[in-house]
Structure 1
Amino acid sequence: MTARRTHPARRRRWSADVTRHSDALDLEPGVFASDDPHQIAESLKRSAEASTRRKSSPFRSAMSMLVFYTNRAGRHLSQARLQTLDRAKTELRRLFGRPG
Structure 2
Amino acid sequence: MPEQKTLKRAAADKRAGKSASTQAGEFVKEQVDKVRAGKHGVRSARQAIAIGLSEARRAGVAVKLPKKGTTSEATRKKAEKDSAAGQHKSTA
TM-score category by the smaller chain? 0.3 to 0.5
Compute the TM-score of the two structures, normalised by the length of structure 1.
Answer: 0.38
Larger radius of gyration: 1
Compute the TM-score of the two structures, normalised by the length of structure 2.
Answer: 0.40
